[in-house]
Amino acid sequence: MRSTMIIDVEIICIGNELLIGKTLNTNAHWLGRQATILGANVKRITVVQDIVDEIAGIICEVIRRKPQYIIVTGGLGPTFDDKTLEGIAKALNCKLQVNQKALAMVKEKCEEYVRKRHLQIPVELTPARVKMAMLPDKAEPICNPIGSAPGVRADIDGTVLFALPGVPSEMEAIFMDSISSLLSQAVGDRVFVEESMFVDNMAESYLAPLIDKVMAANEGVYIKSHVFTGDYSMSVENKPHIEVHLTASAKAKEHPKMKLLKAKDELSKLIEAVGQPT
């Protein structure tokens, strides 16, 4: 049996486009979901601008909280506003330098691009391409199966920091190839379980005390109500439609799924007894 402990994860998303609403932050949603499913505890998701001091500042702040893992997304590319590696270097008080392994990765991806398109042009390591291989000297590159910019790993006093590209397909590929197995191993036999039930024609204010009662009687079970919005939120009679989401995270031997189903059954009976007032 693998050892089990609560593994804390913090996610940092970098990019002005996220803060001004130009780009929907799907990376945060995807990473939070994946880490949770693996059994990790996602404590915070933070978004900051493409500014070196902002990046360095938030990384230093997160390191002080000592999560086991930090996952940073965005800002690893060749353009002027890709500042993540500079920010990491400043946070770790180290220098940026050309990492030969990373440079080889970048060159290989450029050559692959030319080869696949049957282009008859030489591959040059331009300053923009070399920039993607400029890593903090305390970091190591991670292979990017899809794009040119390598991912980055740095180990900092018990915390492992990963920096991933902001392009969702690249971020997801590196996570699945190089990070998910590490998280799973660290989590051990701790599992995350969830169940949903739906309640119609009951206002959330009637439902809230029932949820409180069931949570108090079922330690370790978290219950959250979500009122549906949009066209499906109300029927023609203007009556609410609510999802009740139950979650738990515990050692497998503690049978969290059974605890969850017990809490769900108790809540269902309480709702039925109340008679679903509107």
The whole-angstrom separation of Cα 84 and Cα 165 is: 10
Q: Could you tell me which residues are beta bridge partners of residue 240?
A: 234
CA 249 to chain centre: 17
Query: Half-sphere exposure of residue 154, counting CA atoms within 13 Å on the CB side?
Result: 23
Q: What is the largest CA-CA distance in the chain?
A: 75
CA 161 to chain centre: 13
204-217 and 256-274 helices cross at what angle (nearest 10)?
A: 140
* pTM strictly above 0.95: no
The whole-angstrom separation of Cα 150 and Cα 163 is: 9
Do the Cβ atoms of 28 and 19 come closer than 8 Å?
no
- Residue 229: per-residue pLDDT: 63
Do the Cβ atoms of 41 and 7 come closer than 8 Å?
yes
Q: What does the block give as tokens for 19?
A: 């803060």
Q: Rg of the chain over CA atoms, in angstroms? A: 23
**SS3 assignment for 201-236:** CCCHHHHHHHHHHHHHHCCCCEEEEEECCHHHCECC
- Residue 106: per-residue pLDDT: 96
Give the residue ranges of the chain where pLDDT is below 50: 1-3, 232-236, 278
Ordered by where they begin, the domains of the chain are 8-187 (3.40.980.10), 190-274 (3.30.300)
Residue of 135, 132, 114, 131 whose CA lies nearest to 123: 114
Condensed to tens digits (0 to 9), the pLDDT of residues 75-97 reads 999 999 999 999 999 999 999 99
The whole-angstrom separation of Cα 234 and Cα 242 is: 10
Cβ neighbors of 260 (< 8 A, separation 6 or more) are 193, 194, 195, 221, 246, 247, 248
Do the Cβ atoms of 60 and 26 come closer than 8 Å?
no
Do the Cβ atoms of 45 and 30 come closer than 8 Å?
no
Amino acid at 275: G
- Residue 117: per-residue pLDDT: 85
Q: Where are the beta strands (DSSP E) in 63-201?
A: 69-73, 96-98, 134-136, 139-142, 151-156, 159-164, 190-200
